[in-house]
Amino acid sequence: MMNQKMKAQMFYAPGDVRFEETDIPTIGPEDMLIKVKAALTCGTDLKTYRRGHPTIITSVPSTFGHEFAGEVVAVGEKVTQFEVGDRVVGANTTPCFECYHCKKNEYSLCENLNYLNGAYSEYVAVPGHMLKYNFYKIPESLPYEQAALLEPLACAVHGADRIPVKTGDDVVVIGAGPIGLMFMDLLALKGARVIAVDLSDYRLSLSRQFGAAGTVNAGDKGHVQRVKEKCNGGRGADVVVEATGFPEVWENAINMVRPGGTVLTFGGMKKGTSIAIDCQKFHYEEINLKAVYHHTPYHVQWALNLLTNGSIDGAKYISGVYPLENAIDALESIARQEGIKYAVLPE
């Protein structure tokens, strides 16, 4: 496919993304070329479109988008685990396995994460290191658009794996966006009684389809106390998962948890953001405050198993489809909270 062109959404600057022709990526002997069959919208891509991204996009113009699945159309001469025609999906990053954190098995904190862009394109070249550790074949039974959920689901699986949730626990998930709904799905699978908290009645109604047994609107006066009253006889939740990325919500999460409970802060915030904690409550109630970021190869494989065996129904997360040329319209739709995720289809 040397010297051939493809259509792609090209990022030039915040707010300046152009649908145009660019070269089909070339591959080396350890790489492979994928024809994108389905990409998905993501809040990270929306933020990138609006503000740029210091690590995902380091030079412009650049392809962008990071959740996709597709078909192998070319492989390098040293690639043995994949062949032309394979249906594949993978994560958009891979740890280096050599840095300080990787040697401690803290792969989500890798100092040299390898990034992959280009979901909103007709073709993506995948480097050999990523093929080796974070790419997988998918069965015919798993549609491409559902397989493309792999990366965000792996992040939620990582978070759910790091909190002590048992059957019968009262668990609160704040934020009923795609990641929050994934947490609800996963925690309900663990046998928890999940309560969803969000500002949107529409999203709260959706949360019932993802395992939420109860809902509380965060816009209601006294909603923190209302949440506590629903959990453990008014003591508060066993676990609270924060999935919004707002400082006041982190604070609310700490105030919703029972003594001895755990708060998982998953929603990220910009550098320099701070929160206020009642130190007496934090200390004397032995609150466990935990942060989890990104995913690991272990959790990527776990997430794929959940999608493949049907434990997680990927179809529930896809609210509609857009053609590749309208990928920005799809991102703006999720910005307006119209649906959960949209599939962006090159064909």
The residue-averaged pLDDT of 41-52 equals: 92
- Note the pTM of the prediction, 2 decimals: 0.96
Strand residue runs (E) in the chain: 5-13, 16-23, 32-40, 62-63, 68-75, 87-90, 93-94, 114-115, 123-126, 135-137, 170-174, 193-198, 212-217, 237-242, 257-265, 288-291, 318-323, 341-345
* pLDDT value of position 3: 65
Interval 65-84: pLDDT, tens: 999 999 999 999 999 999 99
* pLDDT value of position 133: 94
Cα–Cα distance for residue pair 115/110, rounded to 1 Å: 12
Mean pLDDT of the chain: 96
- pLDDT over 70 at 1, yes or no: no
DSSP 174-219: E--SHHHHHHHHHHHHTT-EEEEEES-HHHHHHHGGGTEEEEEETT
Domains in the chain: ranges and CATH = 5-154+295-345 (3.90.180.10), 163-291 (3.40.50.720)
* pLDDT value of position 58: 85
Interval 170-205: pLDDT, tens: 999 999 999 999 999 999 999 999 999 999 999 999
Portion of the chain with pLDDT greater than 70, in percent: 99
* pLDDT value of position 233: 96
Query: What's the helix, strand, coil split of the chain in %, to 5?
Result: 35, 30, 40
Q: Which residues pair with 75 in a beta bridge?
A: 32
- pLDDT over 80 at 262, yes or no: yes
Which among 180, 179, 75, 63 has a CA at the least distance from the CA of 122? 63
- pLDDT over 90 at 36, yes or no: yes
- pLDDT over 90 at 2, yes or no: no
Q: Computed over its alpha carbons, how large is the radius of gyration of the chain?
A: 21
- pLDDT over 70 at 106, yes or no: yes
